[in-house]
Structure 1
Amino acid sequence: MLLPLSDRTLCYDLVGSETGEVVVFSHSLAADLGLWAEQVPPLLAAGFRVLRIDLRGHGGSRGAPGPFTIDELADDIIAVADAVGIERLHFVGLSIGGAIGQSLTLRHPQRVVSLMLCDTQSESFPDAANHWGKRIEKLEQTGTLETIADETMGRWLTERFRSDHPLRWNQIRATVAGCTVSGYVGCAQALANFNYTGQLHAVAIPVLVACGSEDPRATPEESRRIAALFQNGRYEEFTGARHVPNVEQADAFNRVLGAWLSEVCETR
């Protein structure tokens, strides 16, 4: 489904009973809402309603060129939620999606029931300007993400997953290669310029921070540090997974997510 706004169009998918509590998913840079395909069936079976949203310039979402900010991307979540009549939500975000979840919770605390942050960061990395600047320059020169698709997949998923699930691996790689350069660059610029670390102590809702043990960038050490910043934070690790544990270890991820949501709902 599409939500046309004044300067952008957001693509989203909303499924499940209208009486179920809503779980909103936000994907990583260069992916799309299909990255959460493994999570939808068990959540629907448990009675939840699922809302997945494409980032600007990713999947079916389109908009004016960036740079974007993390706050603007969080406002996109609110825009879609408002359009479909969702007041309160559980939020699950991966990588840049986790940064978006932090902004969402800090700026719209009355809307968020619980927060799950996966393989993410609470502020731009110290080398952000150089790291993203070189990648942006490369993409603007080539005009395609095909040039970084294999590198990206190597950070996201292990060779064992590629061997065991070649069709799913190829599907995700094709999505990375097909992401628009403008969408990627705009979101990368948002990642290069944010910092919520000093504000997270004000968040009182339940927060679960999760991470693949082999994530080369959003490391377990960093994830434990982030979890400790929240009043009610907790840490979970997926041993052997890289940057996308919800795909690489879908069964384990779904068990953790399901148990987390059940606990949050039972203790409210």
Structure 2
Amino acid sequence: MLVLSRRSEPDLAVRVAGEPDRDVPVVLVHGMASDHSTWRHLAAALRREGRPVVSVDLRGHGRSGRPDGPYRLDDFRDDLVYVLDNLGIHIADVVGHSLGAHTSLRLAMYEPSRVRRLVLEEIPPMPRDEDDLSEGVTMSSTLGERVRGLLALARDPMPYLRFDKRMGEEIVAEFDVCAPDWWSQLPRVTASTMVISGGERSFLPPRHLRTVADALSESRFVTIDAGHSVHRDRRDDFVRQVRGFLA
């Protein structure tokens, strides 16, 4: 792992495979309570095709540092900008899961020219209005989701052990506020985008993810019936979709 040290912000750990200046790199951004290792299968497939791959540990995860203050969604976005700047990456394809997908989309909204293609797996959208808030779509999980999560934890507990537990409540609080401005900024995204839903087995209703896809200027919507962690529980199908889209 390469650790990017900073004075006033948490250090960021990244795994770089290949040479990012030789081709458009693929940046992989994990979800909450995970780390870069969740992408092993996808990263290996991309490397076999010769693609440079940058797998990020978000702040409060893996080997990255923890902030002194609260966790904020825009700080995750700014961390990705820092990683791109530090590695000299002017444009990238970006793949994100859950919190990582939300962070990746914020990056594409903030600096559209730096994201060429974008894969958003099970992205939690910001609430548009009180009706969205009342659903609490980012707050709960099904029994099946919890069981699959416990099995994954038993196989590899380290990402969860390294995860800063106070993050959950602070980030959920940001999703508890109506954010129509977030929706109004989606047309800024110029990247060709694929939104992947885990179907009805996920706690995120597919119709909300489809609405995100519909709000983007160039997008496709794909359903893989796997629940919230498609890349983990249907990894071959996930890799096939991502490889085809990024090719």
Normalising to structure 1: TM-score of the pair? 0.79
Q: Which residues in structure 2 correspond to 1:84-233 (within 5 Å)? A: 84-124=87-127, 126-127=133-134, 154-155=144-145, 158=148, 170-192=154-176, 195=179, 196-233=182-219
Contact map agreement 1:66 1:185 (CA 8 A) in 2: no
Contact map agreement 2:125 2:209 (CA 8 A) in 1: no
Q: Does 1:70 align with 2:60?
A: no
Residue identity over aligned pairs, in percent, reads 24
Q: Kindly tell me: are residues 227 and 211 of structure 1, through their superposed partners in 2, closer, same or farther at Cα, counting changes over 3 Å?
A: same
Secondary structure at the residue paired with 1:209? strand
Q: Kindly tell me: are residues 229 and 207 of structure 1, through their superposed partners in 2, closer, same or farther at Cα, counting changes over 3 Å?
A: same
CA–CA distance in structure 2, aligned partners of residues 244 and 48 of structure 1: 23
Q: What is the RMSD computed on CA atoms of the aligned residues?
A: 2.8
Q: Kindly tell me: are residues 29 and 191 of structure 1, through their superposed partners in 2, closer, same or farther at Cα, counting changes over 3 Å?
A: farther
Amino acid at match of 1:3: L
Amino acid at match of 1:202: R
Contact map agreement 1:66 1:186 (CA 8 A) in 2: no
Q: How many residues align?
A: 238
Contact map agreement 1:67 1:189 (CA 8 A) in 2: no
Q: Kindly tell me: are residues 214 and 157 of structure 1, through their superposed partners in 2, closer, same or farther at Cα, counting changes over 3 Å?
A: farther
CA–CA distance in structure 2, aligned partners of residues 79 and 119 of structure 1: 24
Q: Does 1:10 align with 2:20?
A: no
CA–CA distance in structure 1, aligned partners of residues 163 and 113 of structure 2: 33
Q: String of CA shifts for 1:6-59, please: whole Å, max 9, x gaps.
A: 221111111024413211111111111111111111100111111111111111
Amino acid at match of 1:243: H
CA–CA distance in structure 1, aligned partners of residues 173 and 4 of structure 2: 24
CA–CA distance in structure 2, aligned partners of residues 32 and 46 of structure 1: 23
Task: Specify which of 223, 236, 239 is matched with residue 251 of structure 1.
Answer: 236
Contact map agreement 2:142 2:203 (CA 8 A) in 1: no
Deviation at 1:219, TM superposition (A): 2.1
Contact map agreement 1:115 1:207 (CA 8 A) in 2: yes
Deviation at 1:157, TM superposition (A): 6.6
Q: Kindly tell me: are residues 128 and 74 of structure 1, through their superposed partners in 2, closer, same or farther at Cα, counting changes over 3 Å?
A: farther
Q: Does 1:242 align with 2:238?
A: no
Counterpart of 2:32 in structure 1 is 29
Q: Which residues in structure 2 correspond to 1:17-56 (within 5 Å)? A: 17-18=19-20, 19-56=22-59
CA–CA distance in structure 2, aligned partners of residues 192 and 67 of structure 1: 16
Q: String of CA shifts for 1:58-91, please: whole Å, max 9, x gaps.
A: 1111122442222211110111111111111011
Q: Kindly tell me: are residues 94 and 215 of structure 1, through their superposed partners in 2, closer, same or farther at Cα, counting changes over 3 Å?
A: farther
Q: Kindly tell me: are residues 48 and 192 of structure 1, through their superposed partners in 2, closer, same or farther at Cα, counting changes over 3 Å?
A: farther
* Gapped regions of structure 2 (runs ≥ 5): none
Normalising to structure 2: TM-score of the pair? 0.85
Secondary structure at the residue paired with 2:166? helix
Amino acid at match of 1:111: R
Secondary structure at the residue paired with 2:184? helix
Deviation at 1:223, TM superposition (A): 1.3
Amino acid at match of 1:176: Y
CA–CA distance in structure 2, aligned partners of residues 202 and 218 of structure 1: 24
CA–CA distance in structure 1, aligned partners of residues 58 and 23 of structure 2: 24
CA–CA distance in structure 2, aligned partners of residues 128 and 65 of structure 1: 32
